[in-house]
Chains A and B, each alone.
Chain A
Amino acid sequence: MGRVRIAVTRRFLLGCLPVVALLAIAFDRPGFAADRFPLALKDDRGVTVRLAAPPRRIVSLAPSLTEIVFLLGRERFLVGVTRFCNVPAAASALPKIGGVIDPDVERIVALSPDLVLCTTDGNPRDKVRALEEMGIPCFAVAPQDLEAVFTAIERLGILLGAADRGRAEAGALRLRARLAAPPSGDAEKPAVLFVISTTPIIAAGNGTFMDELVRLAGGRNAAARFSGRYPRLSVEGLVAARPDVIFVAGMSGVERFPEEVTRWKEVPAFRDGAVITIDGDLVTRPGPRLVAALERVSAALAGWRAKAAAAGAGGKR
């Protein structure tokens, strides 16, 4: 009975999503939130950024920030992005200002932006400072977990004069994230290894978004015993970790384990063929698509649990 009610509630909530989005768009008229300006907002560095009016010439220094600007419906004011900004597809057509760690200050200044969106995870501090010394307001965002990403969307909404849209989008994402998490209970937690490179084997450890995705999806991170954020594992380290499921965050590099690694059938994931490739951009960019990644991870782990339960019923475990 309880199981059925949960399913019904979920369907109902999912059904609400389009309505929420429509309401958000309906209330997203320029004049609606613009009356908050001039505004002063503290960024994640503790720097107070002051804007007299909603920004009309925005430069984004990170793919995740570009995605958020699009999500907020403010893409028509984007005048510059990095060469890595490829989502949504329209972002690729915008003028490029260099990369995340090597933005070209002169090119940014030439675009005469009235706001630069930057991140403390990747953008060099002295380049951002150089922009600020030119009188260009720079708003830094540094979300370290999923909730902080949602908060960043809301705050950027306020900053870009789309406060209601920001709140609505963040709310919708929060809802999806909550629905993706499995019902809490004492179901068996699979050991999950998230690797960002297969040769050498580099795993996502504590303090990464991938670690959070695994935990939210009802797994436990098999690389949690390492202290580093991105520990490198030997083949023996992988065998000792015995992950039940392995996610490979494909980053246009080596996305498959070589045969000399996969032949270790002591690793349940190799024995059962539970090695899943997931788009690397999805899990490393602290943007709205992290929720899509969570949904994928969650679905995969639900599949593992169903299999484990079936095996348990068959008296195998």
Chain B
Amino acid sequence: MTGGGKGSGAVLPVLAAALLGALALSAATGPVPVSLRAAFDAIFRGTDDTAARVLLSLRLPRALLGALVGGALASSGVAFQALLRNPLADPYILGVSGGAAVGALTVALFLSADASPLLPLCAFAGAALSAMGVFLLARRRSGVSPERLILMGVVVGAFLNAVIMLMVTLSPPGKIPGALYWLMGDLGLGTPRRVSVLFPYVALGTVLLYLLSRGLDLLLLGDHAAFQAGLSVERVKTATYLTASLLAGSVVAVSGLIGFVGLIVPHGARVLVGSGHRRLLPAAFLLGGAFLVLSDTLARAASPAGELPVGAVTALAGAPFFLYLLRRNGRRA
């Protein structure tokens, strides 16, 4: 639990390069052949053939969406882990996912097909409502304790899960596949419009968290120590909670429930740059983005049985990687 490790100065540029590499690989992968030449022409000469349009309106938006979603989930995970002083916290722990799912399923299952543009909006509203609800339930006169937040989050999450199961059971059968794929996490909705809708939320949330990084460092020491160090603990906690929920909620709204990124990427980033948030937050964003873009490329390319849900790939690839990091770290310590 010390600050940035020695000799880690080059980590951030390396991670940035890794993200760029992942984006390039993702843009080069797909069933329609796109030559390097065609890609160059599409980007710099504005050609308008099939290859160019596949690259510019399908692959690049999807890759960028993956980078934004992965980065936002990882940043949100860092914030929740500091806020709750719990290494197992992730962006979904406080009912955000359940609320978003109920919002999205309401649109997907019970409104007409023409209402699907409403889906991200309702998912976001559901996430925001449940996040606020958990926060208000957990707050007492003495302030918000991590234990109470987790407890309330788990209770509200369990309740919302029951609602989700009921909704899926009672819905018309033809509408279930779409809802299930969304629940499993899916970047297939990556359109230029969705990327531009998501970008401001992610940018705002990431910058806000970065501004809070000194407060997050102090929070790790415990409320009392943080207060003695001159931190207005409650204000930092509230700001962190709302910002991290905003990030998670807006991301869930466009990509569904992609698990594991928000949980493991922060730990991976901590191994690389230590737990000082000024370096940890950018590192987690870059690593999360690269990880999700690579996972999505794998989900699109690896299976002969059509596309896999990216959420399954993140967990399949992420869990062993996480174990490797833990073991390597344990041996070094």
Asked whether, in the complex, the Cβ of B174 is within 8 Å of the Cβ of A252, the reply is: yes
Question: Which of these, B59, B172, B306, contacts A231 with CB under 8 Å?
Answer: B306
B7 within 8 A of A: no
Question: Which of these, A197, A235, A239, A264, contacts B177 with CB under 8 Å?
Answer: A197
Stretch from A37-45, A141-149, A254-262, A300-308 that touches the partner = A254-262
Asked whether, in the complex, the Cβ of A239 is within 8 Å of the Cβ of B54, the reply is: yes
Q: Which residues on A sit within 8 Å (CB–CB) of B59?
A: 236
Number of A-B residue pairs with CB-CB distance less than 8 Å in the complex they form: 86
A232 within 8 A of B: yes
Q: Which residues on A sit within 8 Å (CB–CB) of B50?
A: 239, 266
A273 within 8 A of B: no
B304 within 8 A of A: yes
Interface majority SS (helix, strand, loop, mixed), chain A: loop
A124 within 8 A of B: no
A277 within 8 A of B: no
A32 within 8 A of B: no
Question: Chain A, interface size: which category?
Answer: 20 to 34
Distance between Cα atoms of A266 and B307 in the complex (Å): 21
Q: Which residues on B sit within 8 Å (CB–CB) of A237?
A: 31, 306-307
By beta carbon, the residue of chain B nearest A200 is: B181
B8 within 8 A of A: no
Query: Interface 1/0s, chain B 55-88, versus A by CB < 8 A?
Result: 0001100000000000000000000000000000
- If A237-B31, A251-B173, A252-B172 touch, whether A228 touches B178 (CB-CB below 8 Å) is no
User: B113, B174, B300 — which one has the most chain A CB atoms within 10 A of its CB?
Assistant: B174
Kindly provide the distance from the CB of B293 to the nearest chain A CB, expressed in whole angstroms.
15
Distance between Cα atoms of A240 and B59 in the complex (Å): 13
Distance between Cα atoms of A236 and B32 in the complex (Å): 7
Q: Which residues on A sit within 8 Å (CB–CB) of B36?
A: none
Asked whether, in the complex, the Cβ of B186 is within 8 Å of the Cβ of A200, the reply is: yes
Asked whether, in the complex, the Cβ of A227 is within 8 Å of the Cβ of B305, the reply is: yes
Query: Interface 1/0s, chain A 167-205, versus B by CB < 8 A?
Result: 000000000000000000000000000001101101101
> Which residues A228-244 have CB closer than 8 A to chain B?
228, 230-237, 239-241
> Which residues B250-270 have CB closer than 8 A to chain A?
none
Asked whether, in the complex, the Cβ of B58 is within 8 Å of the Cβ of A252, the reply is: no
Question: Which of these, A199, A231, A235, A239, contacts B178 with CB under 8 Å?
Answer: A199
Asked whether, in the complex, the Cβ of A240 is within 8 Å of the Cβ of B31, the reply is: yes
User: A197, A234, A252, A256 — which one has the most chain B CB atoms within 10 A of its CB?
Assistant: A234
Asked whether, in the complex, the Cβ of A199 is within 8 Å of the Cβ of B304, the reply is: no
Distance between Cα atoms of A254 and B114 in the complex (Å): 9
Asked whether, in the complex, the Cβ of A234 is within 8 Å of the Cβ of B174, the reply is: no
Query: Interface 1/0s, chain A 74-118, versus B by CB < 8 A?
Result: 000000000000000000000000000000000000000000000
By beta carbon, the residue of chain A nearest B34 is: A236
Kindly provide the distance from the CB of B254 to the nearest chain A CB, expressed in whole angstroms.
14
Asked whether, in the complex, the Cβ of A236 is within 8 Å of the Cβ of B54, the reply is: yes
Asked whether, in the complex, the Cβ of A232 is within 8 Å of the Cβ of B306, the reply is: yes
Distance between Cα atoms of A202 and B177 in the complex (Å): 9
B161 within 8 A of A: no
- If A199-B116, A202-B177, A254-B175 touch, whether A233 touches B30 (CB-CB below 8 Å) is no
- If A200-B177, A252-B172 touch, whether A226 touches B304 (CB-CB below 8 Å) is yes
Q: List 28 A-B contacts (CB under 8 A).
A: A197-B174, A200-B186, A202-B177, A226-B305, A228-B304, A230-B306, A232-B306, A232-B307, A233-B306, A234-B30, A234-B307, A235-B58, A236-B30, A236-B32, A237-B31, A237-B307, A239-B32, A240-B31, A240-B32, A251-B172, A251-B173, A253-B113, A253-B174, A253-B175, A254-B174, A254-B175, A264-B53, A266-B50
Give 5 new A-B contacts, CB below 8 A, not counting A227-B304, A252-B173.
A228-B304, A234-B30, A253-B172, A254-B178, A264-B53
Q: Which residues of A contact B (CB under 8 A)?
A: 196-197, 199-200, 202-203, 205, 226-228, 230-237, 239-241, 250-256, 258, 260, 264, 266, 280
